[in-house]
Structure 1
Amino acid sequence: MYTPRQKILWFAFSSRVFILFLQAVTNALVPDHDANVFISPEDPTLRKTKGDVIVDIILGGIKRWDAQYFIHIAQYGYTYENCLAFSPLFPLIVRYVAYILNSILGSFLNFHSVLLISATLVNLLIFIKSADVLHRLSIRILRSECRAYKSVILYCVNPASIFFSAPYSESLFALMSFYVMYKCTENETLRFASIDITSSLPAAFSMISRSNGIVNLGFILYASFKNVIERTLPEIVYKYKTIKHRLILPFLLLPLFTSCVALFLTVVVALIPYVMVQTYNYFKFCIHSDHNLPEFLTSTEYLLPGTAESPWCNSSLPMSYSYIQSHYWDVGFLKYYKIKQIPNFILASPIIFVILYHCLSYIKNNLRLCCRLGLKDNINDPVLFVYIVHVLFLCIFCILYVHIQVSTRLLASASPVLYWICSSKMNVGPMPTSDQNTINEHFRRIGIGKRIPSHHLSIANLEGVENMYSKWKTFIISRRMPDFTSILIQYHTNSSHMLL
């Protein structure tokens, strides 16, 4: 019998295998759509073996759309200006893992195929780790093992699952985002002035994984603000009122000073990689130089490095992302509101509606708490406030600015709130055969000889004995839902996989 964490890790793995199998089948059966999008130029000298053909048959279906950019960057670097819209951390990881794999597979496969295998393996491992971190975060925030477990299972079958397995940065960004949130709830090690300075590392990595990673700094800033208001200042006031010598006041303010210094250092460390990337972009594309690219990469209409011809280079703060999104993809305020985009709005509407409805309901039902910015309240639990604000901001930003169909994968990888909402709405009762005595008997039968831990019992009751022995069977697949809302969530997650 598996523990809840083991079930989660195995199901995360099984769901990735199923997604990859499904994309291979659908890629073979459904003809490709010519969308007139970027396709990485192929090196004419690149050899192709039977092994490369097999890799393309198995994994070729995930090498579409933005995946073309990520594989291209991993193989050739930032050869064109439009590539700067894609952050470097994921392609760098893929490239260096591919170097290792190439020493083993290089005699059978070309480097392009090795890169595709590398991207798949990297995302497989990162996704499993992201599910584990989400589980720990959910237990800490929701204070319910059962709800946390359901949330992670729903994460594994979320509607944007294909993007978490394809050569996209969604899995990496989800891992870093969840880890920032988790570190901001820590109360233990490596803390300075009640700020966990190690939270700067996942925050830094999230910012060079996806552009919206900079929003994750909000969790660090809010955690510091909340600590100062709820702990530091009350302690200073209390000590000031109780001590006899008022001249000691400057020493009482020392914790406030150290909190500010710790916050400053944490933010600076988090921003360093992001600033380095922007500096690299500027010197590569805004300073005249020879690009030294092979001929097959230069036969293109895209702007090459070293030309110094792009308008963003002359900005007072030369950052490429906004210009490139607007120039190459027409991204901007309400620019996507066109009649022909109605199908894409319909595609994105379920996740946007669920998040908007429940976030606004939370604000309505906790208006006093929200006015207090989530600070301590004798009536309500303030712990969800910052997560609601975060996902609501991202949701509104998606509606107003981005290509609306992107919002599904953006929101699914940036916030756990969607999974927490759906887990609270899935009313999955205990299995009739999963009572305490039955489960404990199974534990004794396999030689453990002790009662199941009480905090695991709710999961065993949810899944039943049969599912707890399976690496891939979970309630989302095997259970019959008792009400319409639960059925709708189950149908939407399962049908999303079938439509990939």
Structure 2
Amino acid sequence: MVVWSLRAKIRFSAIYSRHFIFALQFFSNHLVDNYEPKDHKPFKWIPVPELSEKKSIMDEIVIFLLDGFKNQESQMYLHVANNGYVYDNTLKVFPGYPLLLKGALYITDNSFIHQAYLLQLLSFLINTGLFILAADIIYSLSRLVLRDEYLAYKAALLFCINPSSVFFSAHYAETFFSLCLFLGLYFLEKNGMGILSAVFLAVASFTKDVGFLNLIFIAYFSMKNVAVETILFVRKRKNGKSPEKSIPDIFQDIWASTFFPGICNVLAATVPFVFFQWFSYTAYCVRSTNNFHADLLKNGKFRKMPPMPNENISSWCMDDTPMSYFYIHSTYGNFGIAQFRDIDELPLLLLSLPAIVLIGSQIYNFFLVNRRYALRFGLIDNALLGIPKLRVPPLVPTQSLPRETFIYLFHSIVLVVATSIIYPAQEVTRHLCSGSPILYWIAALATTPAQTSLVPILNLKDDNREEVANRVEKRLNLRNEHATILLQEKECGDMGNLVKFFFITSFLVGTGLYANDYPWA
């Protein structure tokens, strides 16, 4: 009988979770009536060429199987992939994922299916494939940062059933963004700032606006490299030892290893955002010769079409620094916390509360255990200062992640604040699930039974040994594609049970609500 490795188990979990999401949206879509909003008109994708009344067999199959995924903001992604940026409210969607769909559509034969339905099919298949890769990569990243096989494995399994899981299968950019982000962070942790980290972080920034916050990681790794080089040099001089390098040599090393790669990575994270703002300005504020399809022109009420009279130009075009970003979110996106004007909207705010509480509690626990390290912003290790290294308290009793996760916790704070201000509050969890691995690490630690022994990683290259797998996963599970410890572990405390309840309930209920177009998904 085959004994599966932990990495193989993660891949199977990712595959089966996508199958389950697909089945759940299918039954929800066909058994429950769709929600019909009364107070606003949601964006609707206008497929080009126009849909005909006579549909092929493949058209009918896609409608029958995948129609539950074509709701809410996914309409914008499909519209941009199909037609480009025709209406100004579609500027809320960054171009990375639509371009990926457009490229896949270009190389695929659509003679047997209408282009609109082929686009939906490709989106679902691409997201499924990318999700499996993302689960694999978050496992590799977790091994690098957490240095524990059990926690890394558990975090990857939790990613497969994350609270916003339906958005990773629907026509959204979440899966593509997560994959690029995790790859960028993986290469940043493994090799430092280099070409690979720059490329993947650039693609992430081109895919979602919150990718701009990856600058935090780049700045942190740059400052840490400078701090290490400087402290080592000063210590040698202070101890009367002759440094191997002079001050000019140190500056040269810092430039070569930190400043230059850092500048390249900063440009990689910022240029996509700046480029998209420039594109928006040229597309919507400058007279254009674009010829749009007649079916799109009929719906110009969604946008002031170029070419356009000067008096109809969007107000942001007249700003000293004409940026569409804040205008689009404030005009079309219910600008964050400011949207709450009625007590009836309070449940929408509560939807993101569990994830925010999890992060807040971890920050509190982390500061209790690593106060001095946190106050030094995680830049300076005791060993570098010549101070005896403090004994690291056990992770499970303290419920504090390793101190290597400091910058990820800091990034999550900024991510929560930024998305709470810019996006509707109920979307904060979605951005946390796709924009950071920290939620999965916190959940992995919280759901670890007190009697469980963690499995420190001694060799990062060795992730397939059966001996290690047996210490993490149950022997019978390693011979079974479906079963994992995730739902089998019982004694994980009140917090652990609440975390499991949050993940599983959101996974199930959220998918059903989304498939029927409810805003609480």
TM-score of the two chains, using structure 2 as the length reference: 0.84
| Count of aligned positions | 470
Q: Name the CA distance, whole Å, in 1 between partners of 2:406 and 2:62.
A: 46
Deviation at 1:479, TM superposition (A): 4.6
The residue aligned with 1:190 is none
The residue aligned with 1:91 is 98
The residue aligned with 1:466 is 476
Q: Against the structure 1 CA distance between its residues 460 and 496, is the aligned structure 2 distance closer, same or farther, given a 3 Å change threshold?
A: farther
Question: Is structure 2 residue 138 aligned with structure 1 residue 134?
Answer: yes
Q: Name the CA distance, whole Å, in 2 between partners of 1:128 and 1:2.
A: 16
Question: Is structure 2 residue 359 aligned with structure 1 residue 355?
Answer: yes
Within the candidate set 447, 450, 454, 1:426 is matched to 447
The residue aligned with 1:120 is 124
Q: Name the CA distance, whole Å, in 1 between partners of 2:412 and 2:102.
A: 32
Question: Is structure 2 residue 314 aligned with structure 1 residue 310?
Answer: yes
Q: Against the structure 1 CA distance between its residues 256 and 43, is the aligned structure 2 distance closer, same or farther, given a 3 Å change threshold?
A: closer
Alignment deviations for residues 215-237 of structure 1 (CA, whole Å, 9 cap, x no partner): 01211111111011013552376
Q: Which moved more, 1:295-304 or 1:355-364?
A: 355-364
Q: Name the CA distance, whole Å, in 2 between partners of 1:207 and 1:492.
A: 29
Q: Name the CA distance, whole Å, in 2 between partners of 1:87 and 1:195.
A: 25
Once the two structures are superposed, the pairs formed by residues 15-164 of structure 1 within 5 Å of their partners are 15-35=17-37, 36-43=41-48, 45-47=50-52, 48-101=55-108, 103=109, 106-164=110-168
**Which residue type is aligned with residue 52 of structure 1?**
D
Tell me if the contact between 2:329 and 2:423 (Cα under 8 Å) persists in the aligned partners.
no
Q: Name the CA distance, whole Å, in 1 between partners of 2:233 and 2:244.
A: 16
The residue aligned with 1:214 is 212
SS of the equivalent of 2:486 reads helix
Deviation at 1:371, TM superposition (A): 1.2
Deviation at 1:126, TM superposition (A): 1.1
Deviation at 1:293, TM superposition (A): 1.0
Tell me if the contact between 1:186 and 1:196 (Cα under 8 Å) persists in the aligned partners.
no
**Which residue type is aligned with residue 87 of structure 2?**
Y
**Which residue type is aligned with residue 95 of structure 2?**
P
Q: Against the structure 1 CA distance between its residues 461 and 320, is the aligned structure 2 distance closer, same or farther, given a 3 Å change threshold?
A: same
Q: Against the structure 1 CA distance between its residues 270 and 453, is the aligned structure 2 distance closer, same or farther, given a 3 Å change threshold?
A: closer
Alignment deviations for residues 270-293 of structure 1 (CA, whole Å, 9 cap, x no partner): 433333322222111110123311
Tell me if the contact between 1:160 and 1:408 (Cα under 8 Å) persists in the aligned partners.
yes
Once the two structures are superposed, the pairs formed by residues 19-418 of structure 1 within 5 Å of their partners are 19-35=21-37, 36-43=41-48, 45-47=50-52, 48-101=55-108, 103=109, 106-187=110-191, 195-235=193-233, 238=236, 242-243=241-242, 249-258=247-256, 259-300=258-299, 301-303=301-303, 304-307=305-308, 309-332=313-336, 334-336=338-340, 338-375=342-379, 376-377=381-382, 378-379=389-390, 382-418=403-439
SS of the equivalent of 1:79 reads coil
Q: Name the CA distance, whole Å, in 1 between partners of 2:43 and 2:9.
A: 39
The residue aligned with 1:444 is none
Alignment deviations for residues 384-418 of structure 1 (CA, whole Å, 9 cap, x no partner): 11011011221233444431110111111111111
Alignment deviations for residues 356-388 of structure 1 (CA, whole Å, 9 cap, x no partner): 221233224322211101121333664111011
The residue aligned with 1:449 is none
The residue aligned with 1:492 is 502
The residue aligned with 2:386 is none
Larger RCO, structures 1/2 (Cα 8 Å, 6+ apart):
2
The residue aligned with 1:446 is none
Q: Name the CA distance, whole Å, in 2 between partners of 1:429 and 1:365.
A: 18
Tell me if the contact between 1:334 and 1:401 (Cα under 8 Å) persists in the aligned partners.
no
Alignment deviations for residues 168-200 of structure 1 (CA, whole Å, 9 cap, x no partner): 01111111222222122124xxxxxx6324311
Tell me if the contact between 2:329 and 2:335 (Cα under 8 Å) persists in the aligned partners.
yes
The residue aligned with 1:12 is 14
TM-score of the two chains, using structure 1 as the length reference: 0.87
Q: Name the CA distance, whole Å, in 2 between partners of 1:368 and 1:245.
A: 31
Q: Which moved more, 1:415-424 or 1:460-469?
A: 460-469
Alignment deviations for residues 212-261 of structure 1 (CA, whole Å, 9 cap, x no partner): 10001211111111011013552376379655999x54344211333322
**Which residue type is aligned with residue 281 of structure 2?**
Y
Instruction: Give the aligned CA root-mean-square deviation in angstroms.
Output: 2.6
Unaligned runs of 5+ in 1: 188-193, 432-451
Q: Against the structure 1 CA distance between its residues 427 and 260, is the aligned structure 2 distance closer, same or farther, given a 3 Å change threshold?
A: closer
Question: Is structure 2 residue 479 aligned with structure 1 residue 475?
Answer: no
Deviation at 1:459, TM superposition (A): 3.7
Unaligned runs of 5+ in 2: 383-388, 393-401, 453-461, 512-521
**Which residue type is aligned with residue 97 of structure 1?**
A
Q: Name the CA distance, whole Å, in 2 between partners of 1:495 and 1:92.
A: 33
SS of the equivalent of 1:316 reads coil
Deviation at 1:337, TM superposition (A): 5.3
Q: Which moved more, 1:39-48 or 1:236-245?
A: 236-245
**Which residue type is aligned with residue 419 of structure 1?**
Y
Deviation at 1:96, TM superposition (A): 1.3
Alignment deviations for residues 68-96 of structure 1 (CA, whole Å, 9 cap, x no partner): 00011111111110111100010111121
Q: Against the structure 1 CA distance between its residues 252 and 108, is the aligned structure 2 distance closer, same or farther, given a 3 Å change threshold?
A: closer
